[in-house]
Structure 1
Amino acid sequence: MSVNKPWADPKDGAFKRQVSSFRETISPNHPVFKPANGRYWLYVSLACPWAHRTLITRALKGLTSVIGVSVVHWHMDSKGWKFFPDESQSTSRDLCFEPSGGVKCLPQSHSTKGLTPETYRAGIDGTIDHNYNFKRLSELYYKADPDYAARFTVPVLWDLETKTIVNNESSEIIRIFNSGVFNEFADPSVPSIDLLPKELESEIDEVNGWVYDNINNGVYKAGFAEKQDVYEHEVINIFTHLKKLEEILQNKYVKLVEKYGEQEALSKLFVVGEQLTEADVRLYPTIVRFDPVYVQHFKCNISTIRDGFKMVDLWLRNIYWNYEPFHSTTSFDHIKLHYTRSHTRINPLGITPLGPKPDIGSL
């Protein structure tokens, strides 16, 4: 599907998200996809919130040297995602990318003046496809399935041994990474963390359910709506659930201050329980994009996070500044440029707003 055609059902004007096609897992008992160091590769966009959660989990679990990564260009056109075209630049060490295929984005923005979808700045706008030197993500999908006939989405978890896609559903990829199947290969200097502890699993699943439908996917349902009544329904629903999230965090923070004192309370302010979990990983990519993109581009402008949801903003700033895997994988340049330059049906002139400033507040 072209990104310049409607993403909404022409009958009711409502956004419909594509269901992921590849849904395998990795485990010692799997007949094909068994854990190994260097066997699997992650294809992502730094702009995409679904891909972002896999990058965060990969870093949190100490897998940056176990599972390689290639990053598509921020611009997506009618043919889908594309890679950096110049193989000679693949070893450039610049803003975001390391020669090993690592990702480390700095919290700063570059001028967008003069940038076009054909701009290729080594180390900033994307990487090559490190494995096959493909020019398009679509080529990877066709390598896995020559008859593939759906959209070419990120993230993609690729198996270098069988040369096929293991999984392209982000919620399942992050559970594969968290499952422990790669623990023996993980970086021992990264503190061990379980993002899905058994005692919190049911609560995490419950929160993930309403956050996904009403906030994660909610911004897309509002932004791609093609009828006024559909848009209004969806945007009101988003803010109803942001208010719910605000109340949850506010009540938790009050109890944490009473229990630990104000200084320690912030270190335990998470969506579920008193530790970082999958619920935080899944919520963060949407909230960090909200003020810079969703407010103006998707017309989610009843309020910004920073002005209307003080506890959500505190949670966001704490996660961003105090947990390196979150801020090192957050590229505000890719986020702003992708949405405003790729969705020409929404923003036909491709003008990228300068604000908000700053992209995220200090802590």
Structure 2
Amino acid sequence: MALGQLVNGVWQKDWTEHNEQGQFQRMSTQFRDWITAPDTSGFPAESGRYHLYVSLGCPWAHRTVLLRTLKGLESVIGLSIVNPVISEYGWQFSSYSGCTLDEVNHCDYLWQVYVKAQPSYTGRVTVPVLWDKQTQTIVNNESRQIIQMLNGEFNQFATYPERDFYPQPLRTQIDATLDAIYQPINNGVYRAGFATVQTAYEQAVKELFVALDYWEQILAQQPYLCGHEITLVDWCLFTTLFRFDLAYHGLFKCNIKRLVDYPNLWRYLRVLYQQPGVKEVCSPDHVKRLYYAGLLELNPNQIIPIGPVLDYSL
């Protein structure tokens, strides 16, 4: 995938995450501070202080939007939604349907937010971004850590503090399961879609479907990945599965099976989709525009498919 990046605070259009073997290798996120309640980190949990920058098309950012909604933090943490189509200058703020302008930092592009936080920043410009309006910096841009913060650190302000998707007795299992699904599934679809040689593509696709077959069997025995309650790992798998038939099956050539061909995984996705507030922050339009109109190397004509027609009802 050739997108842009910042080098010493200057936007560069050419950049790749491929190694010499044609394999996609995702770069690590760099902002890893924590918001805590009570304040033990320098970033205390406060209402109105923090802001999320996201894309509704991106699965990593989608996780954070889901947790913000599920915990009832809409009035506590602000939200800016970028245009689903990545421009030559990266994520862009626009008035496209379902998007917002940047009312916090008044930037045109997300890379400008990164430079405001760190003028000499070098690296990827990704969503989600958790911004601190008081210190004018990025607290964190790692989705797995952000959803943990949203789950627990803002409970005193949350509408639904009783909803705990990271319960203490299950944390070891949740963390292990997050690790287990990351490389073959969450990142696996990208390893397949952005592979530049046949062998790298085939390896990624085989690992992806071995993992999907495995969790299909697990979900034949229990409703959720860690047993009988919904946890963070379910929302992390949900955002990948939601995009599977919409984009990954077609554009990324993850086409051994469709998700709808997996009875248990398809039922699991629809059960999660029915949770209060979830469908309102799921946008098939933003998903398809992100992948089909934004990745010119994979779809140079930017033709967005009309289908598939998917019924998420139970």
- Please tell me the TM-score bracket, short chain as reference: over 0.9
| 2:82–2:99 Cα contact (<8 Å) kept | yes
Counterpart for residue 196 of structure 2: 226
CA separation of 1:137 and 1:34: change in aligned 2, threshold 3 A: same
Aligned counterpart in structure 2 of residue 183 of structure 1, from 133, 149, 155: 155
Counterpart for residue 3 of structure 2: 2
Q: Deviations over 1:223-277 (max 9, x none)?
A: 000000110111011000000000000122xxxxxxxxxxxxxxxx221121111
| 1:340–1:347 Cα contact (<8 Å) kept | yes
Counterpart for residue 281 of structure 2: 329
In 2, Cα distance between equivalents of 1:58 and 1:169: 15
| 1:23–1:168 Cα contact (<8 Å) kept | yes
| Higher mean displacement: 294-303 or 325-334 | 325-334
Runs of 4+ in 1 over 4 A off after TM superposition: 3-6
Counterpart for residue 317 of structure 1: 270
Asked whether 1:174 is paired with 2:147, we answer yes
In 2, Cα distance between equivalents of 1:340 and 1:306: 21
- CA-CA distance at 1:10 after TM superposition: 4.7
Asked whether 1:41 is paired with 2:41, we answer no
CA separation of 1:240 and 1:31: change in aligned 2, threshold 3 A: closer
| 2:151–2:165 Cα contact (<8 Å) kept | yes
Q: Deviations over 1:151-192 (max 9, x none)?
A: 21000000000000000000000011112x2111122xx362
CA separation of 1:213 and 1:10: change in aligned 2, threshold 3 A: closer
Counterpart for residue 262 of structure 1: none
Asked whether 1:164 is paired with 2:165, we answer no
- CA-CA distance at 1:60 after TM superposition: 1.3
| 1:196–1:278 Cα contact (<8 Å) kept | yes
| 2:192–2:200 Cα contact (<8 Å) kept | yes
In 2, Cα distance between equivalents of 1:58 and 1:125: 17
| 2:80–2:102 Cα contact (<8 Å) kept | yes
| 1:8–1:226 Cα contact (<8 Å) kept | no
SS at 1:42 equivalent: strand
CA separation of 1:191 and 1:35: change in aligned 2, threshold 3 A: closer
| 2:35–2:41 Cα contact (<8 Å) kept | no
- CA-CA distance at 1:2 after TM superposition: 2.2
| 1:341–1:350 Cα contact (<8 Å) kept | yes
Q: How does 1:182-331 map to 2 (within 5 A)?
A: 182-187=154-159, 190=160, 192-252=162-222, 269-307=223-261, 309-321=262-274, 323-331=275-283
In 2, Cα distance between equivalents of 1:166 and 1:333: 29
- CA-CA distance at 1:29 after TM superposition: 3.1
| 2:86–2:294 Cα contact (<8 Å) kept | yes
Write the letter of the residue equivalent to 1:192.
E
SS at 1:183 equivalent: coil
In 1, Cα distance between equivalents of 2:34 and 2:259: 36
Q: Deviations over 1:16-35 (max 9, x none)?
A: 11101100001123352111
In 1, Cα distance between equivalents of 2:191 and 2:61: 18
CA separation of 1:7 and 1:242: change in aligned 2, threshold 3 A: farther
In 2, Cα distance between equivalents of 1:205 and 1:132: 34
In 2, Cα distance between equivalents of 1:51 and 1:25: 17
In 2, Cα distance between equivalents of 1:5 and 1:161: 33
- CA-CA distance at 1:7 after TM superposition: 3.8
| Higher mean displacement: 274-283 or 2-11 | 2-11
Which fold has the larger relative contact order, with Cα–Cα distance below 8 Å and residues 6 or more apart in sequence?
1
- CA-CA distance at 1:11 after TM superposition: 1.1
Counterpart for residue 99 of structure 1: none
In 2, Cα distance between equivalents of 1:201 and 1:191: 18
Counterpart for residue 295 of structure 2: 343
> How many matched pairs?
304
Write the letter of the residue equivalent to 1:200.
L
Asked whether 1:357 is paired with 2:309, we answer yes
- CA-CA distance at 1:207 after TM superposition: 1.1
Aligned counterpart in structure 2 of residue 128 of structure 1, from 77, 84, 101: 101
| 1:200–1:273 Cα contact (<8 Å) kept | no
| 1:8–1:224 Cα contact (<8 Å) kept | no
* Unaligned 5+ runs, structure 2: 5-12
Larger radius of gyration: 1
| 2:58–2:287 Cα contact (<8 Å) kept | yes
Identity across matched positions, percent? 41
SS at 2:79 equivalent: strand
In 2, Cα distance between equivalents of 1:160 and 1:8: 31
Q: Deviations over 1:42-82 (max 9, x none)?
A: 00000000000001111111211100100000110221000
In 2, Cα distance between equivalents of 1:283 and 1:125: 23
Counterpart for residue 17 of structure 1: 26
* Unaligned 5+ runs, structure 1: 85-119, 253-268
Aligned counterpart in structure 1 of residue 115 of structure 2, from 137, 142, 145: 142
